[in-house]
A and B are shown apart, each in its own frame.
Chain A
Amino acid sequence: MTATETYKVGARSGVGVSSQRPDAVPKATGEFSFSSDLSSHNMLWGKTLRSPYPSARIRNIDYSEALAISGVHAILTASDVPGKNLFGLEHPDQPVLADDIVRYAGEPIALVAAEHPEIAADAISRIHVDFEVLNPLVDAESAVTADPIHPEGNVIRHLVIDYGDPTSSGDVTVEGTYEVGMQDQAFMGTESGMAVPSPDGSVDLYISTQWLHSDQKQIIEALNLPEDMVRLTLAGVGGAFGGREDVSMHVHLCMLALHTGRPVKMIYDRNESFLGHVHRHPAKIWYRHHANKDGLLVKVEGKIILDGGAYASTTSAVLANACCFSTGPYKVDNAQIEGWGVRTNNPPCGAMRGFGNVQTCFAIEAQMDKIASALDIDPVELRLKNALEPGDQIITGQEITGAAPVKEVISSLADHPMPEPAINDLLARPGGTGRTTDQKHVKRGVGFAVSIKNLMFAEGFDDSSEALCEVNDGSVAIHTACVEVGQGFVTLVHQIAEEILGVSDITVIPADTSIGSAGSTSASRQTWMSGGAVLKACEAVVVNLIEQIAEEEGVKYENLDGTLVSEDGTKTIPISEALRGRSFQEKVVHRHAPTFPLDEKGQGNAHVSFAFAAHRAVVDVDQELGLVRVVEIATSQDVGRILNPIQAVGQIEGGITQGLGLAVLEELVMKNGVIQNANFTDYLLPTALDTPPIEIASLIEEPEPGAPFGAKGIGEPPTISSTPAVVAAIRDATGLDLRRVPVRPEDIALE
């Protein structure tokens, strides 16, 4: 009945090997069941009515005509929400269904359950909502002082970082204002799921998500049900990138299922998907950098405005990231940073790969190039001079205690050979299949950028993951609530269990809420957190095994790399053999080192660990037409330790491509609060022809203290500095300033 599968694969070989993901072949052949493949006997189809207006008052909803359609089983509105009509990832401020006010175009207003998706769609079109259309607030800067559009006001968070001496100044200053457009996660599998009611009034929800337990917590509040009556099971996820961290259809499905007493399924179409999840925050960023004659940073002043859209989502945490890392991977003793996360009638924005660091990194790296040019210093040299080192402080006063091979990352990339000069092929030039550009129109440019990303949740959040390791006569089953969104956690589970227990018969039990939270698959945290929990659970089995044998034989054994060796050294037995005929059940909760809130000056040990990456982009630009072809992106990344090389490369290639997308293509174009391109015809993702060869210059393996096997998260850094590297390369080719991403043809050609 469900799309979730039990992964079971044969022999693998522990940590550090490119073992193949168990879902690789099924996904390639189409056999993998995604959440959109869910089905059940007697199932109904749900559909959502959404507001066409970014700001309006609902005077009346008349659904009598829709309800009369044969095959329509339920129409629900705000008054049908059984519990609190509010949800939210960080705190509840968003209605499950709009009550009297809609605050963004796309906000859910009513739900339909019907026998067929066509009937449901027909019913939606016959629900008549009487709107009083209001003037939307769409400008983030004016939102700070504008009339509040929400009872909680328009400023979701205002954050000040006051570090060092504000009166300090340098020999040179460079200043700039930068803008980042609204990027979307644009995962391939749109939102989908199915809720199945039980006669006892409880409900099972099968859903593609990033964090089952956070969903559950929000759903039970809205349904007014105890935790054990709302059970979630992960369904096959078709990509996430942050866009599934917030609740979308979850409560809606449960409401419809509980109301009709029948299983209800929903699939958003592509258009609805763009309306149904949060996006990357558009940003406006002002910087003034002060540096000494020799290029050392003296002070950074910055103002950062993030447009959070109508509801809070993770705006507060995204702003914290934007501000805490607003000076980049560089050492600077003085910083005055002020950030606002504001509410507008634009679509809600929240988590997306890079989470606040993407926006500021684009601006920081432009500033670094400006300093280099003002002082006539090589941009790579300038970055090396200022690179953070272990023991340095970031501007929150936190000391970097773990690995920080920033200089190694930069210099290994700088040493990497450059790509060949352009080949004579029309398709390989800017304009691609459009045949616009001859070789004589092409100018080549090179750009370099470096980034810092914090790993894991921050600011005092009690971050944990639970894992169960069950051994039964030599076969192992591992259970966590960790969501596989495509990053390869299921592969790692096999590798870790095999590494510790030496067993290859390993089953990964589907993620669900019958075990404790694993936290979100975000913040580059699951290898560390849930991987760490699995590691500890497996290790606990070994400890118990040794105790059991000691009781039975009276001999103490020690674990030496997977082999038990008796104290006197005379007897050895591989753990895998010793496990035969025995059963264990070990459940552990894993936590990272505690973090702390930021104080009123933005100071505090708010973060766990940091990862660094550098990108070098080579582009060919047709300046007259403003067309860009990215020729190559090379990278070096600080990874702690590589647990699965092919998966590491996969994250890097995918992340860089997403960063390239933000640099030159991907933007949700807004007009007065309404998305103009909520489709793949006009939301342009890079195609194979836009995606250059990705060269990995170096993966720096300096084990991170506290991380399982020393592995740092690797999912986000590739997305962060790839964007500024591409734009720097375009600047290099054209001599233009280019203060906004994505860079559009007109931004180049009409300058």
Chain B
Amino acid sequence: MIMEVLIPSSAEEICELLSQDNSRQLLAGGTDFMVEVNYRHRSPSSVIAIDRVPELRNWHHDGDSVVIGSCVTYREIERGPLATLVPALAQAARTVGSPQIRNAGTIGGNIGTASPAGDMIPVLSALGAEVSLRSSEGKREISLDDLIVGVKQTSLGQGEFIESVRVPVLESPQEFLKVGSRSAMVISVTSLALITYPKTQSVGIGLGAVNPRPTRARQAEEFIKDFLNWESMQVDPSGLDHFKELVSEASRPIDDHRSVAAYRRHSIGVLAQRALTRIFSERSPSG
């Protein structure tokens, strides 16, 4: 079996290679891709290895946001400056695979795979991430929630690839929590990201592994607003039970070999409450 491997050195060149032949497949860290090749679920005849393209490997500030190149690895997100700028993304990155996987695996690859259990997804969703796509036709921006349209399905057009992801720098608390049966290196049974937006006095909640597409718990986000005190950073505990319920209701989990739907529904609610009360301390009813 002959497989052609092309190694472009710029994003421009990727566009060209894709426009010449749009059956060419993109290889970033290969941590999803190569598993599929090894098990013959994928047999590409031409591969574009993009992880040496400098502009995809970098991240930079852009006003109130950071723009993270698609080939930035978990290792880079997990620690260093990015970890301070987008803490929930770093917390999620730390849960991915093993050190070897985190050295190779990229944020763009996680989006490209579009697995419901992809650990970047709930964080990016809760952050309202915008994904920058590029092709020989030009560039466009799309929200992460619109890019991923189903289980392992994206709305990427022909010849289009993910160049970068833009997320806001908020300088306020963020939490990512993930349930798996093992203490590390485990695919999410459920995961949840909770992002605080002090300016709008709201929270963003992204749910992982409980829906086919990226899902925000919008009703819960809306409901809990009235129970939060942004000065004292406290939450009125009387809202917590219903908040939890609303988060669980936003999930459409399945039974599979990793867990059962009932547990997923239960645990996603628990994660929401815990994330919230880590940031907002529970005000005693009397106070």
Chain A residues with CB under 8 Å of chain B are 118-119, 121-122, 125, 269, 271, 427, 430-436, 438, 441, 624-627, 629, 664-665, 669, 671, 676-677, 681-682, 684, 686-690, 744-746, 749-750
Please tell me if B262 contacts chain A, counting CB pairs below 8 Å: yes
How distant is the Cα of A269 from the Cα of B267 in the complex, in angstroms? 34
Interface 1/0 per residue, B35-77 and A, CB below 8 Å: 0001110000000000000000000000000000000000000
Q: Please, which residue of chain B has its CB at the minimum distance from the CB of A681?
A: B187
Contacts of B274 on A, CB cut-off 8 Å? 436, 438, 441
Given contacts A271-B39, A687-B182, A745-B189, 5 further A-B contacts (CB under 8 A): A435-B91, A624-B270, A671-B257, A677-B257, A749-B267
Which partner residue on chain A sits nearest B258 by CB separation?
A: A682
In whole angstroms, what is the CA distance A624 to B266 when docked?
Answer: 9
Q: B180 contacts which chain A residues (CB < 8 A)?
A: 434
Inter-chain contact B179/A627, CB cutoff 8 Å: yes
**Could you tell me if A676 and B184 are in contact, using CB atoms closer than 8 angstroms?**
no
Q: A676-B257, A745-B259 are in contact. Are A435 and B181 (CB under 8 A)?
A: no
- Is B134 an interface residue when CB atoms closer than 8 A count as contact? no
The answer to whether B177 touches A435, judged by C-beta atoms less than 8 angstroms apart, is yes
Of B38, B176, B180, B262, most A-chain CB atoms within 10 Å = B180
CB <8 Å contact, B263 and A749: yes
Chain A residues whose CB sits within 8 angstroms of the CB of B39 once the complex forms:
269, 271
Would you give 23 A-B contacts (Cβ < 8 Å), ordered by A?
A: A269-B38, A431-B178, A433-B178, A433-B184, A434-B95, A434-B177, A434-B179, A434-B183, A435-B91, A435-B175, A436-B179, A438-B274, A625-B270, A629-B183, A687-B185, A688-B184, A689-B184, A690-B183, A745-B181, A746-B260, A749-B266, A749-B267, A750-B263
Main secondary structure on A side of the interface with B = loop
Question: B259 contacts A746, CB within 8 Å?
Answer: yes
Q: Are the CB atoms of A690 and B257 closer together than 8 Å?
A: no
Chain B interface (Cβ < 8 Å from any Cβ of A): 1, 38-40, 91, 94-95, 98, 175-187, 189, 191, 256-260, 262-263, 266-267, 270-271, 274, 278
List residues of chain B with CB within 8 A of the CB of A629: 183
Chain A residues whose CB sits within 8 angstroms of the CB of B263 once the complex forms: 626, 745-746, 749-750
Are A435 and B178 in contact, CB atoms less than 8 angstroms apart?
A: yes
In the complex formed, the residue of B with least CB distance to A124 is B40
B contact residues around A665 at 8 Å (CB):
181-182
Name which of A121, A435, A664, A686 has the most chain B CB atoms within 10 A of its CB. A435
Which residues on the A side are within 8 Å of B179 (C-beta)?
Answer: 431, 434, 436, 625, 627, 745
Inter-subunit contact B267/A745 (CB<8 Å): yes
A690 to B191 alpha-carbon distance, docked (Å): 19
10 closest A-B pairs by beta carbon, nearest first, are: A432-B183, A676-B257, A746-B263, A434-B178, A689-B183, A669-B257, A689-B184, A118-B1, A433-B184, A433-B95
Q: Identify B40's interface contact among A121, A435, A625, A671, CB under 8 A.
A: A121
List the B side residues contacting A433 at CB < 8 Å.
94-95, 178, 183-184
Residues B184 and A122 in contact, CB atoms below 8 Å apart: no
A272: min CB distance to chain B, Å: 10
Report the minimal beta-carbon distance from B113 to chain A, rounded to whole angstroms: 13
Structural contact, A686 and B182, CB atoms closer than 8 A: yes
Contacts of A750 in B (CB 8 A): 262-263, 266
